[in-house]
Amino acid sequence: MKVNQAEFIISAVGPSQYPPDALPEIALAGRSNVGKSSLINRMIQRKNLARTSSKPGKTQQLNYYKINSDLFFVDLPGYGYAQVSKSKREIWGKFIEQYLMHHEYLKLVLLIIDLRHPPSKDDQIMYDWLKHNGVPMCVVTTKADKITKGQWQKHVKIVRETLRMEKHERLVLFSSELGVGKDELWEIIEQEISKEIEEELEEGLEEPEEPVLNDIIE
């Protein structure tokens, strides 16, 4: 996708603040500090539109970024940050779950994992939860530049095995630093968005509903 325009729309703390535009949404989930905001910046080739930080816990709301008039990236709060109080973590958990379960424009969740380490317990819970609930997802292993290229496939294998991913399930190897994986990820996003449009068109072509005789008889 050619990104002509990218703008920050809102930090939403609840459904009443979600933007009204009926645009496809691509959400980013992952541990705090894993590189979600950096990934957005790389995808749109902007240094600092999504705020990044070396301190975990930076993104605490749903941050909406509008890309052209085509889609939103939704940067979700990172999970698994121990220094956040338990009660606050529970609120975040409910908030994210509510968004993921009930958001009609959500087309795809990018589950961002650090390529260097086996997925954490929280990563596994998130992966299992998305799968169980039938939310379309793509695993993205980022920070690839932090290990040598010769080690990439070994680490991809560990991620796939730890999450118990099936062969057909998608995984994109990524580096926000180098730009590795950017084109592949855009292709997947575009595919997922156009799939929905095709389905809507097919629905539109369905046979008209059969008339119900009861209505006439009455």
Ligand X SMILES: Nc1nc2c(ncn2[C@@H]2O[C@H](COP(=O)(O)OP(=O)(O)OP(=O)(O)O)[C@@H](O)[C@H]2O)c(=O)[nH]1
Residue 35 as a binder of ligand X (CB under 6 A): the answer is: yes
Minimum gap (Å) between residue 30 Cβ and ligand X: 6
Residue 58 as a binder of ligand X (CB under 6 A): the answer is: yes
Residue among 4 and 48 whose Cβ is closer to Mg ion? 48
Residue 142 as a binder of ligand X (CB under 6 A): the answer is: yes
Q: Which residue has the tokens 């080739």?
A: 45
Q: How far apart are CA 134 and CA 128, in angstroms?
A: 10
Minimum gap (Å) between residue 35 Cβ and ligand X: 3
Of 34, 127, 109, 32, which Cα lies nearest the Cα of 72? 109
Minimum gap (Å) between residue 58 Cβ and Mg ion: 5
With CB under 5 to 8 Å by kind, the binding choice for 143 among Mg ion, ligand X, none is ligand X
Site of interaction with Mg ion (CB under 5 A): 36-37, 58-59
Minimum gap (Å) between residue 15 Cβ and ligand X: 21
Q: How far apart are CA 131 and CA 50, in angstroms?
A: 27
Residue among 117 and 196 whose Cβ is closer to ligand X? 117
Of 104, 131, 14, which Cα lies nearest the Cα of 64? 14
With CB under 5 to 8 Å by kind, the binding choice for 57 among ligand X, Mg ion, none is ligand X
Residue 107 as a binder of ligand X (CB under 6 A): the answer is: no
Q: How far apart are CA 185 and CA 199, in angstroms?
A: 21
Residue 175 as a binder of ligand X (CB under 6 A): the answer is: yes
Minimum gap (Å) between residue 204 Cβ and ligand X: 39
With CB under 5 to 8 Å by kind, the binding choice for 34 among ligand X, Mg ion, none is ligand X
Residues that bind ligand X (CB under 6 A): 30, 32-38, 52-54, 56-59, 78, 142-143, 145-146, 175-177
